[in-house]
Amino acid sequence: MERFYQQRLDWRACDDEALDRAGARCADVTVPLNYGEPQGRTITVAISRVPAADPAHRRGVLLSNPGGPGGSGLDLTVWLGDKVLAPDVRDSYDLIGMDPRGIGRSTPVSCGWPIGSPLQSAGPDLLSFGESVATAADLAARCIATQGDQVSYITTRNTARDMDVIRAALGEERINYFGLSYGTYLGSVFTQMFPERVERVVLDSAVDPERYHVAMIQDMGAPNEAAFDAWAAWAADRDDQYHFGTTGSAVRATITDLIGRSARRPIRIGGDAVSVHVLPMLVFDGIVDARKYPVLADELRQITDAANGLPVQPGKELKRALDDYLHPAPDAPESGPAQAMILCGDAPAPRDPSWYWRNIEASRATEPMFGAFANNLTPCAFWLPPVEAPTAVHNSVPALILQATGDPRTAYRDGVGLHRAMTGSRLITMPDVVTHGVSPKSSCARRIVDDYFRDGTLPGDDVTCPAG
């Protein structure tokens, strides 16, 4: 492994407007595909570095990950510097972005999928569920056939090992880390595997490692129903604009009816057919944050008009959303297969489709809109068995965990679970807000994050921070 830990990095321009404007340079880090066979095939991991602007007070390197899994993090450094960190904190660290293995500018994976995402709703009945089963089986078969041994090694544990190689290649004894969403799971796994190599860790919108990954997705059902109700109340107040209903319950009934119509016949809009497998996912994407509410309302108005036979061309936002689900760009890195490889390679999933169907049916009474997504099967039901067991996280590494009680992506219970697993952590709770990602939305939370990154001091106890 010495050749990996002692490699010299060739820094160059990033060829990215935001990164170049921030003064970043980029490099490729060579790592083993399979750490069990370090003399075998190698791949590269793309990283970016924005050097500390105040070298006299430099505190080290700060790695980051935006989540997904499957998200490109090369430019997360810019977001951190602009939206989260105070200027003196930002200027005291080398900010390191990373495209994890298989993602973005790193050695890519490509399975030739005909659709963009492995996540879909199962629909209302066994016929539509059978379509989901067939799709998931096809996506898994394509990856296994095209990617060979690589399919088993695009995993969180290997990405954590890559981070340790990056640490050494940067000449650092320890790293600091900021993870968002799935990035909190990656961060917690790194602290478990390399506790002596980590210094300060902030985990925003956390995943409970005990519930990763099938239960984690199941946990999304209830908070997304609540998030939809919040959007429905917002839309009801604007019925003169969107015409979905004047009460939250009326709006829910209108959108539920629209989804039912998509189950009977996919809704044609532009050149696309919006099916019952996709429409709930468009809603899912739009309720994550109040800033997206108008976008979702516009999209659903367009789809409703198309369902009513009006000549509608999708707007820019809807076209982009449909492309993400239905039309993977042929020349762009595929995030969907990378997401599947990580989830499926990290932990086994039940293989019997009837197990999922029973859970879907049981969820319908309390999760009528999202239970058929949160309990649906994915390509993991047809994947190769994981090469390694899931990581059991239990350590006393100091960390800040930030969680919103209304988080529709990583449920509040998941943040509590990670706090329980990392006994040296402090939990920062933002109550009564439907959002994913606490740090940009709470000045109270940002102050605590800044103080921690300044001097390593955690609050004496858990803290509640309001939004704003």
Confidence of residue 29 (pLDDT cuts 50, 70, 90): very high
Helix and strand counts by DSSP (H, E) for the chain? 19, 11
As a whole number, mean pLDDT of residues 60-66 equals 98
**Model pLDDT, residue 309:** 96
**Model pLDDT, residue 444:** 98
Sign of torsion, CA 106 112 113 116? positive
Query: b/e map of 22-42 (b: 16 or more CB within 10 Å)?
Result: bebbbbbbebbbbbeeeeeee
pLDDT reading at 285 higher than 90: yes
- Give the count of alpha carbons within 13 A of 273, CB side only: 9
Give 206-236 pLDDT, tens digit per residue: 999 999 999 999 999 999 999 999 999 999 9
pLDDT reading at 382 higher than 70: yes
393 in Cβ contact with 209 (< 8 Å): yes
pLDDT reading at 330 higher than 70: no
| Furthest-apart CA atoms within the chain: distance in Å | 66
Give 153-205 pLDDT, tens digit per residue: 999 999 999 999 999 999 999 999 999 999 999 999 999 999 999 999 999 99
Confidence of residue 20 (pLDDT cuts 50, 70, 90): very high
244 in Cβ contact with 261 (< 8 Å): no
Confidence of residue 329 (pLDDT cuts 50, 70, 90): low
**Domains of the chain by residue range:** 1-108+152-212+390-464
As a whole number, mean pLDDT of residues 323-351 equals 87
Complete DSSP assignment for 275-315: -TTTHHHHHHHHTSSGGGHHHHHHHHHHHHHHHTT------
Backbone angles phi, psi at 47, to 5 degrees: -130, 160
What percent of the chain stands above pLDDT 90?
96
Amino acid identity of 447? Answer: R
pLDDT reading at 269 higher than 80: yes
**Model pLDDT, residue 38:** 97
Amino acid identity of 161? Answer: R
pLDDT reading at 332 higher than 70: no
154 in Cβ contact with 99 (< 8 Å): no
Confidence of residue 149 (pLDDT cuts 50, 70, 90): confident
408 in Cβ contact with 227 (< 8 Å): yes
pLDDT reading at 333 higher than 80: no
Confidence of residue 334 (pLDDT cuts 50, 70, 90): low
Instruction: Report the mean per-residue pLDDT for the chain.
Output: 96
Amino acid identity of 412? Answer: Y
CATH number assigned to the domain with residue range 1-108+152-212+390-464, chosen from the 4 options 3.40.50.300, 3.60.10.10, 3.90.1150.10, 3.40.50.1820: 3.40.50.1820
pLDDT reading at 328 higher than 80: no
**How many angstroms separate the CA atoms of 198 and 212, rounded?**
22
Alpha helices in 148-288 (DSSP H): 156-169, 182-193, 214-218, 221-236, 239-242, 248-264, 279-286
**Model pLDDT, residue 349:** 98
Give 388-432 pLDDT, tens digit per residue: 999 999 999 999 999 999 999 999 999 999 999 999 999 999 999
Return the CA Rg of the chain. 22
Give 420-453 pLDDT, tens digit per residue: 999 999 999 999 999 999 999 999 999 999 999 9
**How many angstroms separate the CA atoms of 114 and 111, rounded?**
9
pLDDT reading at 331 higher than 60: no
**Model pLDDT, residue 327:** 85
pLDDT reading at 95 higher than 90: yes
**How many angstroms separate the CA atoms of 309 and 412, rounded?**
41
Give 127-147 pLDDT, tens digit per residue: 999 999 999 999 999 999 999
